[in-house]
């Protein structure tokens, strides 16, 4: 079996053991353990001046290789182009984009620095699997160094329609660089259509059959590989943790009220303001829910160095404060807002306690919280998932209550319906979703991707 080289912005280091690591990290680490190989990424450290050589750490058959970034390179690559340009663009938020040529150049320079490190470590038949929007240009940089290995890429976030992508200066070059991968994997069929449209309309690509394209003298295969979770493992974790001290503390504090739960990185793609407004709308229009529900939002702060994220935080603080001021009583506050990171097992227990899983992103590549919520439920008495149609997960979880995240009244109606839903309907919806999650796990996802990558023809020097 060919050795595997995984590249992602952050590396799932072995110290992040069982308790902390997310399901995706575990799935990728298992793939590395099976085949042996390398996991390459940024160390999370920035340095003044030139960074030193990469550091490596070996554990069994897996070697973790991390690079520091110069402060300036980090600003351009990570803060600037990846999170200031690509993230909002790919989530259809054109108004939030900042674009500077300097950032794009810095992004390419970091992709090139990674390519040099990787090229030095590669063996001829290694399979390379690159992750996410930080590395759209990595294959092109590797090809320039003469690398002919099979290179696969998976995008965790949505791929925008061609007409949206067109707003990005240099989009045609970026698309052609993506065509230097042998396989481009996306979360949904809808993302695949967008990518294919971009290749053909904006980068001169030509379809070969249904799932391959000829572009800039290379052949790239394209497919949908919706990310899954460790369904059974998460279900077990949730069942155990629901009886643990943290979950019991939450349950006691609810005093019999129904829990509506949201769990998201604090990000403007997640639709958090609309969610808070919907809770206020619910309590306004259906006064019978007053004092009978608690909305708990867990939203660990991420990317706090970006202006847009700080602005979002103030907006949410104000909205939560207003709803509580309007409806709270001496012994009840409708909204609880927690920006601390919660340990994974505790989170699983909380999800199991929730009568409603409230997941309303304005756009999301997949949204694993939606899947984790379903897996965490008690089969005898499951809660209801209220899920945005614009999350990739909605393509699979059709039996959730699907909502339009901008329609605050619609969200409130869905909450009312979920809270009042009879047991037999809750069970039927849950069973249908759970069947989908049992069929498409994280392990299945990585196997499907790697099989598809191995099935692409050996690369030819570019
Ligand atoms: C990107 C794409 C795509 C959240 N808060 C805590 C915590 N979490 C965990 C969740 C879940 C993960 O983080 C978040 O995953 P999502 O999929 O919901 O969202 P993104 O972070 O935006 O991820 C997304 C994903 O990549 C995978 O391809 O689905 O569309 O945007 O696992 O449980 N975990 C802990 N404490 C928290 O407070 N321990």
Ligand 1 close to Cβ of residue 303 (< 6 A)? no
Measured between alpha carbons, how far is 94 from 164 in angstroms, rounded to an integer?
A: 8
Q: Are 356 and 382 in contact (CB under 8 A)?
A: no
Q: Which residues pair with 212 in a beta bridge?
A: 208, 221
- Work out the end-to-end distance of the chain between its first and last CA atoms, rounded to an integer number of angstroms: 25
Query: Which DSSP helix (H) or strand (E) runs through 219?
Result: strand 218-224
Active site residue 156: yes
The predicted structure's pLDDT at residue 50: 93
CA gap 341, 338 in Å, rounded: 8
- E-strand ranges in 11-133 read 37-47, 55-59, 62-70, 127-131
Q: Is the CB of 282 under 6 A from ligand 1?
A: no
User: Between the CA of residue 3 and those of 37, 118, 130, 197, what are the distances in Å?
Assistant: 5, 13, 14, 33
Who's near 400: CB < 8 A, 6+ residues apart?
370, 374, 384, 385, 386, 387, 394, 429, 433
Residue 441 pLDDT: 95
Pick from 87, 265, 368 the residue to mutate for probing ligand 1's pocket: most ligand atoms within 8 Å of its CB.
Answer: 368
Q: Which atom of ligand 1 is nearest to the CA of 156?
A: 28
CB of 369 shorter than 6 A to ligand 1: yes
Question: Which domains does the chain possess?
Answer: 4-228+442-454 (3.40.50.2000), 231-439 (3.40.50.2000)
The predicted model scores a pTM of 0.96
Runs of H (alpha helix) within 286-440: 307-327, 344-353, 368-376, 408-420, 423-439
Residue 365 beta carbon below 6 angstroms from any ligand 1 atom: yes
Q: Which atom of ligand 1 is nearest to the CA of 372?
A: 33
Nearest atom in ligand 1 to the alpha carbon of residue 23 is: 32
- The CA dihedral of 226, 227, 231, 234, to the nearest 10 degrees, is -150
Ligand 1 near 263 CB (within 6 A): yes
Residue 16 has what pLDDT?
65
Name the residue with the closest Cα to ligand 1, atom 28.
Answer: 156
Q: Is the CB of 145 under 6 A from ligand 1?
A: no
Non-local (6+) Cβ contacts of 413 within 8 A are none
Only one residue has tokens 């030193």, namely: 52
Q: Whose CA is nearest to atom 21 of ligand 1?
A: 265
Q: Which residues on neighbouring strands pair with residue 192, listed in sequence order?
A: none
Predicted local distance difference test score (pLDDT) of residue 461: 45
Tell whether ligand 1 has an atom less than 6 A from the beta carbon of residue 22: yes
Q: What is the pLDDT of residue 19?
A: 53
Among residues 224, 234, 166, 200, the alpha carbon closest in space to that of 374 is found at 234
What letter would DSSP give residue 269? G
pLDDT of residue 17: 55
Q: Which atom of ligand 1 is nearest to the CA of 298?
A: 38
pLDDT at 20: 58
pLDDT score, position 171: 98
Distance 404 CA to ligand 1 centre (A): 21
pLDDT at 195: 98
Q: Which residue has the tokens 């992004």?
A: 107
Collect all residues with Cβ–Cβ distance below 8 Å to 160 and sequence separation of at least 6.
89, 90, 92, 194
Q: Is 300's C-beta closer than 6 angstroms to any atom of ligand 1?
A: yes
The C-alpha atoms of residue 253 and residue 242 are separated, in whole angstroms, by 14
Q: What is the pLDDT of residue 275?
A: 98
Q: Using most ligand atoms within 8 A of CB, pick from 367, 370, 405 the residue to mutate for ligand 1.
A: 367
CA 451 to chain centre: 22
Give distance in angstroms: CA of 306 to centre of ligand 1.
19
In the reported structure, the alpha carbon of residue 263 is separated from the centroid of ligand 1 by a whole-number distance in angstroms of 8
Binding site membership of 367 for ligand 1 (Cβ less than 6 Å): yes
Spell out, as residue ranges, where the chain has pLDDT lower than 50. 459-462
Nearest CA among 172, 169, 127, 179 for reference residue 150? 127
Strands 37-47 and 4-10, sheet pairing: parallel
- Per-residue pLDDT tens digits for 333-343: 999 999 999 99
Strand order in the sheet with 356-359: 335-338, 293-298, 258-263, 356-359, 384-388, 401-403
Q: Whose CA is nearest to atom 15 of ligand 1?
A: 368
| Non-local CB neighbours of 145 within 8 Å, separated by 6+ positions | 115, 116, 119
Instruction: Answer yes or no: is the C-beta of 352 below 6 A from any ligand 1 atom.
Output: no
Q: Identify the active-site residue in 172, 191, 264, 364.
A: 364
**Cβ neighbours of residue 295 closer than 8 Å, sequence gap 6 or more:** 260, 261, 262, 276, 279, 334, 335, 336, 358
The one catalytic residue among 91, 134, 156, 171? 156
């Amino acid at each position: 079996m060919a050795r595997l080289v995984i590249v992602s912005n952050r590396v799932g280091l072995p110290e992040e053991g069982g308790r902390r690591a997310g399901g995706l990290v575990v799935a990728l680490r298992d793939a590395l353990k099976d085949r042996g190989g390398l996991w390459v990424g940024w160390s999370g450290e920035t340095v003044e001046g030139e960074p030193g050589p990469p550091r490596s750490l070996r554990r069994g058959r897996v070697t973790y290789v991390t690079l520091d970034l110069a402060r300036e390179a980090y600003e351009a690559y990570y803060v600037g182009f990846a999170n200031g340009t690509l993230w909002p663009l790919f989530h259809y938020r054109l108004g939030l984009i900042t674009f500077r040529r300097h950032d794009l150049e810095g992004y390419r320079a970091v992709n090139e620095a990674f390519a040099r490190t990787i090229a030095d470590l590669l063996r001829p038949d290694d399979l390379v699997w690159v992750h996410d929007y930080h590395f759209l240009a990595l294959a092109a940089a590797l090809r320039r160094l003469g690398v002919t290995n099979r290179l696969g890429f998976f995008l965790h976030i949505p791929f925008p329609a061609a007409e949206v992508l067109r707003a990005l200066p240099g989009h045609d070059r970026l698309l052609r660089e993506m065509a230097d991968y042998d396989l481009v994997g996306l979360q949904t069929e809808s993302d695949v259509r967008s990518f294919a449209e971009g290749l053909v309309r904006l980068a001169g690509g030509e379809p070969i059959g249904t799932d391959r394209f000829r572009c800039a003298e290379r052949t790239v295969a394209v497919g949908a590989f919706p990310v899954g979770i460790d369904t059974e493992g998460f279900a077990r974790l949730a069942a155990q943790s629901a009886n643990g001290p943290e979950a019991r503390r939450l349950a006691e504090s609810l005093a019999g009220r129904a829990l509506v739960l949201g769990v998201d990185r604090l990000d403007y793609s997640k639709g958090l303001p609309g969610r808070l407004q919907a809770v206020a709308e619910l309590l306004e229009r259906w006064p019978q829910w007053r004092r009978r529900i608690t909305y708990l939002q867990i939203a660990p702060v991420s990317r706090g160095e970006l202006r847009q994220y700080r602005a979002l935080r103030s907006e949410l603080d104000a909205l939560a404060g207003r709803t509580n001021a309007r409806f709270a009583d001496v012994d009840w506050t409708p909204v609880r807002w927690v920006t601390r990171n919660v340990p994974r097992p505790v989170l699983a227990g909380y999800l199991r306690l929730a009568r409603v899983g409230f997941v309303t992103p304005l756009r999301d590549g997949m949204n694993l919280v939606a899947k984790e919520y379903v897996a965490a439920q008690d089969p005898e008495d499951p809660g209801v998932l209220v899920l945005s149609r614009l999350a990739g997960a909605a393509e699979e979880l059709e039996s959730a209550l699907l909502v339009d995240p901008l329609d605050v009244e619609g969200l409130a109606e869905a909450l009312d319906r979920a809270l009042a839903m009879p047991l037999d309907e809750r069970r039927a919806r849950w069973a249908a979703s759970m069947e989908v999650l049992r069929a498409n796990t994280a392990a299945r996802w990585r196997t499907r991707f790697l099989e598809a990558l191995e099935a692409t023809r050996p690369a030819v020097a570019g």
